[in-house]
Amino acid sequence: MSYALEIKGLKKTYDNGFEALKGIDLAVEEGDFFALLGPNGAGKSTTIGVLCSLVNKTAGQVHVMGYDIDTDFSMAKRRVGVVPQEFNFNQFEKTQNILINTAGYHGIPRAEALPRIEHYLKRLGLWEKKDNPSRALSGGMKRRLLIARALIHQPDLLILDEPTAGVDIELRRGMWDFLKEINDQGTTIILTTHYLEEAEALCRNVSIINNGEIIANSSTRDLLATLNTVTFVCDLADPLTEVPIIEGYECLLASPQTLEVEVDQGQSLNAVFSALSSRNVSVTSMRTKTNRLEELFVTMTSGSNG
Amino acid sequence: MSQLANYEQTAKNFGNPNWVAYKTIVRTEIRRFARIWVQTLIPPAITMMLYFIIFGTLIGRRIGDMGGFDYMAYIVPGLIMMSVVTNSYTNVSSSFFGAKFGRFVEEMLVSPISNQTILLGYVTGGVARALLVAIIVTLVSLFFTRLLIHDIFAVISITILTSVLFSLLGFINGVYATRFDDISIIPTFVLTPLTYLGGVFFSIDLLPEFWASVAQLNPILYVVNAFRFGILGISDVSLVYAYGILISVTILSYLVALHLLSKGAGVRS
**Would you tell me how many other CB atoms lie within 10 Å of the CB of residue A111?**
7
What domain count does chain B have? 1
Q: Assess whether pLDDT exceeds 60 at residue B125.
A: yes
Distance from CA of B104 to the nearest CA of A (A): 5
Give B269's contacts in chain A (Cβ within 8 Å): 14, 46, 49, 54-56
* Residue A31 contacts residue A186 (beta carbons within 8 Å): yes
* Residue A249 contacts residue A243 (beta carbons within 8 Å): no
- Summarize the confidence of residues B104-127 as an average pLDDT: 93
Which DSSP category does A3 fall into? Answer: E
Distances (CA, A) of A173 to A184, A192, A202, B188: 16, 16, 11, 53
Which DSSP category does B201 fall into? Answer: S
The interface pTM score, or ipTM, of the predicted complex is 0.83
Q: Do A78 and B102 touch (CB under 8 A)?
A: no
Give B11's contacts in chain A (Cβ within 8 Å): 106, 108, 153-154
* Residue A19 contacts residue A42 (beta carbons within 8 Å): no
The answer as to whether B4 is a domain residue is: no
Instruction: Please give the residue range of the domain that contains residue B39.
Output: 20-263
pLDDT of residue B18: 86
The answer as to whether B143 is a domain residue is: yes
Reduced to 3 states (helix: H, G, I; strand: E, B; else coil), residue B43 is helix
- Summarize the confidence of residues B44-49 as an average pLDDT: 89
pLDDT of residue B134: 94
Which string of b and e fits B210-219 if b means at least 16 CB within 10 Å? eeeeebeebb
- Please state the separation of Cα A93 from the chain's center in Å: 29
Between A81-85, A155-159, B65-69, B200-204, the lowest mean confidence (pLDDT) is in: B65-69
Which string of b and e fits B85-113 if b means at least 16 CB within 10 Å? bbbbbbbbbbbbbbbbbebbbbbbbbbbb
* Residue B90 contacts residue B125 (beta carbons within 8 Å): no
pLDDT of B153-162, one tens digit each?
A: 999 999 999 9
pLDDT of B223-241, one tens digit each?
A: 999 999 999 999 888 899 9
* Residue A258 contacts residue A306 (beta carbons within 8 Å): no
**CA A75 to CA A113: how far, in whole Å?**
20
The amino acid present at B36, given as its one-letter code, is I
Compute φ and ψ for A91, nearest 5 degrees.
Answer: -70, -15
**CA A143 to CA B211: how far, in whole Å?**
60
Reduced to 3 states (helix: H, G, I; strand: E, B; else coil), residue A94 is strand
The answer as to whether B160 is a domain residue is: yes
**CA A153 to CA A108: how far, in whole Å?**
8
List CB contacts of A283: < 8 A, sequence separation 6 or more: A234, A235, A236, A237, A259, A273, A276
- The per-residue pLDDT string of chain A (306 residues; one tens digit each, 9 = 90 and over) reads 689 999 999 999 998 889 999 999 999 999 999 999 888 888 888 999 998 889 999 999 999 998 999 888 888 889 999 999 888 899 999 999 999 999 999 999 999 999 999 999 998 888 999 999 999 998 888 989 999 999 999 999 999 988 877 777 778 888 888 899 999 999 999 998 777 778 888 888 888 888 888 888 888 877 777 766 778 888 998 888 888 888 888 888 888 889 988 888 778 888 888 888 888 888 998 887 765 666 667 777 765 543
Kindly list the structural domains of chain A, giving each domain's residue range(s) and its CATH number in brackets, ordered by start. Answer: 3-224 (3.40.50.300), 228-305 (3.30.70.1560)
Distance from CA of B20 to the nearest CA of A (A): 5
Reduced to 3 states (helix: H, G, I; strand: E, B; else coil), residue B50 is helix
Q: Assess whether pLDDT exceeds 90 at residue B85.
A: yes
Distance from CA of B1 to the nearest CA of A (A): 9
Chain A: residue nearest B112 by CA?
A74
pLDDT of residue B11: 45
Compute φ and ψ for A13, nearest 5 degrees.
Answer: -120, 120
Largest CA distance in chain B: 78
Task: Sort A31 into a burial class: Cβ within 10 Å, 0-12 / 13-18 / 19+.
Answer: middle
Across the interface, of B25, B103, B269, the residue whose CB is closest to A88 is B103
Query: What is the percent of chain B where pLDDT is above 90?
Result: 53
**Would you tell me how many other CB atoms lie within 10 Å of the CB of residue B156?**
13
The answer as to whether B7 is a domain residue is: no
List CB contacts of A8: < 8 A, sequence separation 6 or more: A25, A60, A61, A62
The answer as to whether B173 is a domain residue is: yes
Q: Do B269 and A54 touch (CB under 8 A)?
A: yes
The answer as to whether B5 is a domain residue is: no
* Residue B170 contacts residue B89 (beta carbons within 8 Å): yes
* Residue A95 contacts residue A131 (beta carbons within 8 Å): yes
Across the interface, of B8, B14, B110, the residue whose CB is closest to A77 is B110
* Residue A207 contacts residue A296 (beta carbons within 8 Å): no
List CB contacts of B86: < 8 A, sequence separation 6 or more: B44, B187, B191, B192, B195
